[in-house]
Amino acid sequence: MAKAIVLIGLLVTSLCVFSWLVAPVGADPDGGGDIEDKFRSTIEGWVSLIQSNVLWISEAMTGLVRGVIKAVYFIVGLAGFLMWSSGVSKYSGKRLVLGAVAMAFVSEVLL
């Protein structure tokens, strides 16, 4: 009998504490607004996170493209200069050098 009274006392106490900790449905313990405002702020946080990640990826891809174009126009320009200066193929070497200059312009000025 004493164990039953202790058990009932613990049950009543835990129910009182639980009802004190849990706010009723619709009540906001922070006092900051309703659930719609929290939902909107959560979605806005996700959207801003996605936006920052897309900007980061686009900057990284632009840097990668810029680096690849630099390597390519250096190699093409060097090959064209060697062809032109050695006399192997002056016309093709000149076109390669002009192509390298055009790639350098695109890489350095437009990107």
User: Using one digit for the tens of pLDDT, what is the confidence trace for 73-102?
Assistant: 999 999 999 999 998 998 999 999 999 999
Q: What is the pLDDT of residue 29?
A: 53
Q: Which pLDDT score is estimated for 60?
A: 96
Q: What is the pLDDT of residue 108?
A: 87
Q: What is the pTM (predicted TM-score) of this model?
A: 0.57
User: Residues 97-101: contacts with CB within 8 Å, 24+ apart?
Assistant: 99/73, 100/73, 100/74, 100/76, 101/73, 101/77
Print burial letters for 71-107: b (CB count within 10 Å at least 16), e (below 16). Answer: eebeebbeebeebbeeeeeeeebeebbeebeebbeeb
Provide φ and ψ at 79, rounded to 5°.
-65, -45
Nearest-angstrom CA–CA distance, 45 and 40: 9
pLDDT tens across 2-53, in order? 665 655 666 656 655 555 455 455 555 555 568 999 999 999 999 999 999 9
Confidence of residue 106 (pLDDT cuts 50, 70, 90): confident
Integer Cα distance of 71 and 104 in angstroms: 10
Asked whether the predicted pLDDT for residue 109 surpasses 70, the reply is yes
